[in-house]
Amino acid sequence: MSAPFVLTSDNEALAQRIIAKYPHGRQASAVIPLLDIVQRQNGGWLSREAMDFVAQRLDMPAIRVYEVASFYTMFNLKPIGRHFVQVCTTTPCWLRGSDAIVHACEKRLGIGLGDTTADGAFTLVEVECLGACVNAPMVQVGDDYYEDLTPETMTQILDDLAAGRQPRVGPQSGRKTSEPLPGLTTLTDAAVQTGGTD
């Protein structure tokens, strides 16, 4: 039998603050944030012991925790690699070339979607919309977004991660956040942007 799951002291303090936000008798409302804390502490996935810990902590049936954990794709029910590469393949990303991004990942990592590299460094999955459609195609690695990707920039990001370097997050095209690719086309006068006058 596996050892019971226990939070670190920092995560315990965080869990207490989250649970305190809900009225007495409604602690089960904290199930998603607690699952997130537990998953992060547990190396990016939820073991049965980790989910049982959340159920006990929130005084709710374990099956209810399992239902939440298995419903939301943000929770992983099996171990993942150190770098969790989530490629968006929803329509905006697909129209902008997400198939080529998936292929570049598979080629560079030598694995298919849903697989983990033999060294445990990378897990590659396909996901639905990650919410940066204007900068499609994009991927999420851990908590970081990489946008405006090409097969070449995606391969470079994977190379950097494999070498222990932190790639630059955000758009890889040189654009600033979500502004038009050629640059600003309206409100280019600083006085207009700040509400000031000459």
Number of domains in the chain: 2
Give the span between the Cα atoms of 112 and 44, in whole angstroms: 19
Helix (H, G, I), strand (E, B) or coil at 119: coil
Are 39 and 50 in contact by the 8 Å Cβ rule? The answer is yes
Residues 108 and 132 in one domain: yes
Mean pLDDT lowest among 56-60, 68-72, 100-104, 192-196 = 192-196
Which CATH number fits the domain that encloses residue 166?
3.40.30.10
Residues 164 and 88 in one domain: yes
Which CATH number fits the domain that encloses residue 20?
1.10.10
In this structure, the strands spanning 170-171 and 115-116 are: unpaired
Residue 181, judged by CB atoms within 10 A of its CB (0-12, 13-18, 19+), counts as exposed
89-144 pLDDT, tens digit each: 999 999 999 999 999 999 999 999 999 999 999 999 999 999 999 999 999 999 99
177-196 pLDDT, tens digit each: 887 777 777 777 765 555 55
Q: Is residue 115 in some structural domain?
A: yes
Q: 95: which 2 tokens?
A: 């129209």
Residues 52 and 118 in one domain: no
Q: Is residue 191 in some structural domain?
A: no
Residues 16 and 54 in one domain: yes
Which H/E stretch holds residue 10? Answer: helix 9-19
Q: Is residue 198 in some structural domain?
A: no
Tell me what the pLDDT averaged over the chain comes to. Answer: 92
Are 33 and 18 in contact by the 8 Å Cβ rule? The answer is yes
Find the domain containing 110 and state its range.
Answer: 83-171
Q: Is residue 183 in some structural domain?
A: no
